[in-house]
A = this chain, B = another copy of it.
Amino acid sequence: MPVPHRPSTETSEAESVLLDLVNAYEQAFDIAAASVELSAAQACVLGRLSEHRAMGGLATELGCDASNISQIVGRLDGMGLTYREASPQDGRVRVVARTAEGDAVAERFERSFGFARDALGRLTAEERGTLTALLRKALDEPANR
């Protein structure tokens, strides 16, 4: 579903803007993925392959089952964007990497997905700092990551 839920109960202005932000982010991601003829999940995986990665590592990072990654990477392989090879250290592990074409598609995707860049570009440097601090506090994140 492209658009998350907008609570039916009385919603504060802040909640409403937060929701708009999430919606806009998701929509921009989907459009950027479609612009390079990938699904959102495929773009998500391909985007993480700037470095080689083990299949299991990807599944852990993305919080999904390993069989899911097998399927998605299988499709990326079929498109010629990635390849897999056995790890020399451990024969059970298979390492995924992007082909040259995969790199090119990932780069086009990055250029197309300018949501955060565009949104933050509408703020001054000082405003960006304030926003970062407020969001960290709201998310209960430590100031240094």
Which residues of A does B touch, CB under 8 Å? 1-9, 12-22, 24-27, 29, 40-41, 43-45, 47-48, 50, 61-64, 106, 110, 113, 116-117, 119-120, 122-123, 127-132, 134-141, 145
Contacts and interface: CB of A to CB of B under 8 A. Distances in A.
Main secondary structure on A side of the interface with B: helix
What's the number of copies of this chain in the assembled complex?
Answer: 2
Contacts of A132: 13-14, 17
Given A26-B22, A50-B8, A135 B2 contact: no
In the complex, which of the residues A45, A120, A135 has the most CB atoms of chain B within 10 Å of its own CB atom?
Answer: A135
A130 B141 CA distance: 19
B137 A122 contact: yes
